[in-house]
Amino acid sequence: MYETVVARSGSSWDEAYIQSLGIKIKEVASEEQFFGFPLPTLFKNQSDIDIVSSLSLSTTQDLENACCNIDNPPYVLELLHALLQCLEYSITEESANDELGKALLRLSGIFGTRGITMMGPKQLPLMIAGEKKYANPDIVVQKIGSKILLLVQEDKRTSDALSINPEPQLCAEIIAAFGKNIQNNTEQTQLIYGIINLGSYFTFYKCKMTKDAFLSIQSGYIRCKDIITIEKFRLSKRVSSRYMVDSKENMRKVLQCYEALRILIEDLSNNLDNSM
């Protein structure tokens, strides 16, 4: 028994559409369940993380003072300026949220790993139901000349009342990334990570995509329900665009999650090196 779907660009995907494609989003209860290990207490960029973790940033003045401290290391200053821009001055500006995501990735040390690069916003071709559409992630992290490992999508609902749930857009981006990754590649299964950010609040995603599921969506003939499961982990049930600056504990948790993600992304990168 098959169900047929009509092709849509990634920006127009919604909850009903991903259900028709057999995509299920499953929330996991804990960070350990999502990442596969307890949140790290040690960091690749330990000294920078210690500085950020020690700061009290609950007010705009606190952030401004920290940004003016030229003794802070470059990646710390980049993060602080991105936070200030994102939370206080440019909440309606997509670039402000993108810069915060990029600053956190750089602070984690992920780009100290050989061959991992970051770009975005980026347009990815998306073949669906026999038609060529596009998905538009805000940030793409990939192995140079190789596979996309991580996608970041902004949640615009705080600044635009007409904006839709970004999760279906991220689903489209994951499928488009898988399609790019399997070009000239015989691999049947790949793990792709995702992040959605609402200001400084983050939700983490992972999807173990299979070639069979991808080909089913590409053709537009869906064989069965729930052919793709995407797992997600939320920092807290209380969603706040000011999450990182609400408390030192919140800041620490975000930094720990990015460190855990760095470990997983580097593992994927190393596996690619070993398979060459």
Confidence of residue 209 (pLDDT cuts 50, 70, 90): very high
Beta strands in 120-257 (DSSP E): 124-128, 131-135, 139-143, 148-154, 189-198, 201-210, 221-222, 228-234
Determine the pLDDT at residue 161. Answer: 47
- What's the average model confidence in pLDDT over 44-54? 96
Q: What distance in Å separates the CA atoms of residue 176 and residue 137, rounded to the nearest whole number?
A: 10
- What's the average model confidence in pLDDT over 196-208? 95
Query: How are beta strands 228-234 and 23-27 bridged, if at all?
Result: parallel
Q: For residues 225 and 195, which has the higher predicted lDDT (pLDDT)?
A: 195
Q: What distance in Å separates the CA atoms of residue 261 and residue 256, rounded to the nearest whole number?
A: 9
Token couple for 10: 């990634």
- What's the average model confidence in pLDDT over 106-112? 89
Range of the domain at 242: 3-275
pTM of the model: 0.93
- What's the average model confidence in pLDDT over 88-100? 66
Q: Of 94-103, 167-176, 247-256, which gets the smallest average pLDDT?
A: 94-103
Domains contained in the chain, number: 1
Position 142, amino acid = Q
- What's the average model confidence in pLDDT over 174-191? 89
* Phi and psi torsions of 176, nearest 5°: -65, -40
- What's the average model confidence in pLDDT over 95-121? 86
Position 96, amino acid = A
Q: Of 120-134, 160-174, 199-213, 247-261, which gets the smallest average pLDDT?
A: 160-174
Computed over every residue of the chain, the mean pLDDT equals 89
Identify whether the C-beta of residue 73 lies closer than 8 Å to the C-beta of residue 48.
Answer: yes
Determine the pLDDT at residue 160. Answer: 47
Determine the pLDDT at residue 125. Answer: 96
> What burial class does residue 5 get, using C-beta atoms within 10 Å of its C-beta: 0-12 exposed, 13-18 middle, 19+ buried?
middle
Q: How far apart are the first and last CA of the chain?
A: 40
